[in-house]
Amino acid sequence: MDAVNQALENKDYEKAVELATQELKIAPTSSRLFLKRSIANLRLQKPTEALNDAESAVSLATDESLRGDAQLRRAIAFYQLKKVGEAKAAIRYAQKCNCVDKTLPIWLQKIEAETTEQAELVEIPSNAEPVAKPSIRKDWYQIGNKVTVSVFIRDAPSSTKVDISADRIEIPAYDFVLDLSHPIDPSSAKIDIVKPKIELTFEKASPGNWSQLAKTPDDLKPLAKPKAAFEKEWNIEDEPEEESGDPQAFFEKIYKDADPDAQRAMMKSFIESNGTTLSTNWAEVSKGKVEITPPSGMEAKKWT
């Protein structure tokens, strides 16, 4: 490392790249070596190589300050590649990581100025829709209590850092964040990086089938009128009709999706109540005969 630093001080950037490459063969997970080589490549006007090294440094960094320095090199590399939007995002991350590099304010000013200049040159139609940020593709499946998530990031280093908590997955080097729809057991997580993806396997915090992997904005909205599962309300005026208008179809749909206990409860409650009650609670229904409960304003009569 000392030889690399000396080459940088002497402005012998080709030598610095050569020495850092040699040392990385011995210490392939050294974030500082990747950072030094990124700096040398930037001085040599090789932004693509510098960007690759900076991203490796970000993923390998174990302390926030070093990660901030690496994010600054990402910003400079993006700037040299004329990708001002990405440069602005990267330098913001450098600030969040409390980067103390004395050149950060200078680069921040240059990137902000370039962003402003481009905004003035491009006329945006008033009715133009905002362009969504390209998202990283992911896939998932579940078997029993285990969930497997594949995050498709091409050429991710085997040392890529993945943060897994009870309700979130983060890959800082690629600005990837996934808020999980259900809690998991982080201690059970296994990470396997096999190109072109990062595969994560973990166990659910509690048993049950997941209908979706990630949280959605709708998950935060309160229900307008909470009801027990499969509970049918008999107030005809307030209840919208099913699309089919067929009670039999409604029953069959619920029955098909229910577990065995719920199916037993449905059959017993529906038959014994002459179709006036539909319950999926077997613990309650199994206690005795289900009485007839007619709609409001009507009276049940026994026929002889």
Domain containing residue 103: CATH number? 1.25.40.10
Residue type, 286: S
Model confidence at 143: pLDDT above 90: no
Instruction: Looking at the structure, tell me whether residues 6 and 110 fall in a common domain.
Output: yes
Confidence tier at 250 by pLDDT (50, 70, 90): low
Point out the least confidently predicted range of 55-59, 141-145, 179-183, 247-251: 247-251
| Per-residue pLDDT, 248 | 59
Instruction: Looking at the structure, tell me whether residues 65 and 162 fall in a common domain.
Output: no
Q: What is the pTM of this model?
A: 0.44
Give Cα separations from 275 to 118, 242, 288, 290 (angstroms): 69, 17, 16, 10
Distance CA 204, CA 149 (A): 13
Mean pLDDT of the chain: 80
Mark which of 175, 199, 218 sits at the end of a domain: 218
Distance CA 68, CA 91 (A): 9
Mean pLDDT of the 227-241 span: 43
Q: Is the peptide bond before 196 cis (omega within 30 degrees of 0)?
A: yes
Q: Is 57 helix (H, G, I), strand (E, B) or coil?
A: helix
Model confidence at 297: pLDDT above 70: no
Mark which of 121, 152, 171 sits at the end of a domain: 121
Confidence tier at 125 by pLDDT (50, 70, 90): low
Model confidence at 304: pLDDT above 50: no
Q: How many domains is the chain partitioned into structurally? A: 3
User: Domain range holding 183?
Assistant: 138-218
Confidence tier at 158 by pLDDT (50, 70, 90): confident
In a domain, 133, yes or no: no
Beta strands in the chain (DSSP E): 138-143, 146-151, 163-164, 168-171, 176-179, 184-194, 197-204
Residue 64: both structure tokens together: 């926030």
pLDDT tens profile 70-85: 999 999 999 999 998 8
In a domain, 130, yes or no: no
pLDDT tens profile 79-121: 999 998 889 989 999 998 888 888 898 898 888 888 776 655 5
Distance CA 111, CA 90 (A): 11
Beta strands in 25-137 (DSSP E): none
